[in-house]
């Protein structure tokens, strides 16, 4: 089981004799340090590798009971983890919806600000155009007034000439 879960043999020596000596004398390796597995399964495998026969499982049924108990606990943990993950997904989804709504609000504000700027610019442009037209018409009025004065002066001169005749 140790090899099945970790991909390594629990005891290894350079020769068969050294491997047997490691089985007898070496401290059993800590499975959770080698691979990722639940502490319950690591405890079951650790118990099966103990040096003292009295500390090991006394029957396959005893080991099977522990494995089934650990399996049920593992499945409960996995179910709880899955439910927590689903809940987290919901929270993330809500967060993204809120961020999207905030972004839409910002865009609306910026759009309103842009509209105001455009209206202000348009009003300024219209005011500048009106001032330009007023200046042009004022110039035309000055020219027309000058022409009228010339015409009046001409009429006055014509009237004087007519009366002196």
Is it the case that residue 118 has pLDDT exceeding 80? Answer: yes
pTM for this one? 0.46
Asked whether residue 103 is assigned to any structural domain, the reply reads no
Residue 42 located in a structural domain: yes
Q: Is 97 within a domain?
A: no
Asked, for residue 85, whether it belongs to a domain, the answer is: no
Distance CA 32, CA 57 (A): 20
Q: pLDDT, tens digit, for every residue of 46-73?
A: 898 888 899 999 999 999 999 999 888 8
Residue 10 included in any domain: yes
Q: For residue 51, tell me if it sits in a domain.
A: yes
Q: Helices in the chain by DSSP H: which ranges?
A: 2-6, 16-25, 31-34, 39-48, 60-164
Average pLDDT along the chain: 87
Q: What's the structural domain count of the chain? A: 1
């Amino acid at each position: 089981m140790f090899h099945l879960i970790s991909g390594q043999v629990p005891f290894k020596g350079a020769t068969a004799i050294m491997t047997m000596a490691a089985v007898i004398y070496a401290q059993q390796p800590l499975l959770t340090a080698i691979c990722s597995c639940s502490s319950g399964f690591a405890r079951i495998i650790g118990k099966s590798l103990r040096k003292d026969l009295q500390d090991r499982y006394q029957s396959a049924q005893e080991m099977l009971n522990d494995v089934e108990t650990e399996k049920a606990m593992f499945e409960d943990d996995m179910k709880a983890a899955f439910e927590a993950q689903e809940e987290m997904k919901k929270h993330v989804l809500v967060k993204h919806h809120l961020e999207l709504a905030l972004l839409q609000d910002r865009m609306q504000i910026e759009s309103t600000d842009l509209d105001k700027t455009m209206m202000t610019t348009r009003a300024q442009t219209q005011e500048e155009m009106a001032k330009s037209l007023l200046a042009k018409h004022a110039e035309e009025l000055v020219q027309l007034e000058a022409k009228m004065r010339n015409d009046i002066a001409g009429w006055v001169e014509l009237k004087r000439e007519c009366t002196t005749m």
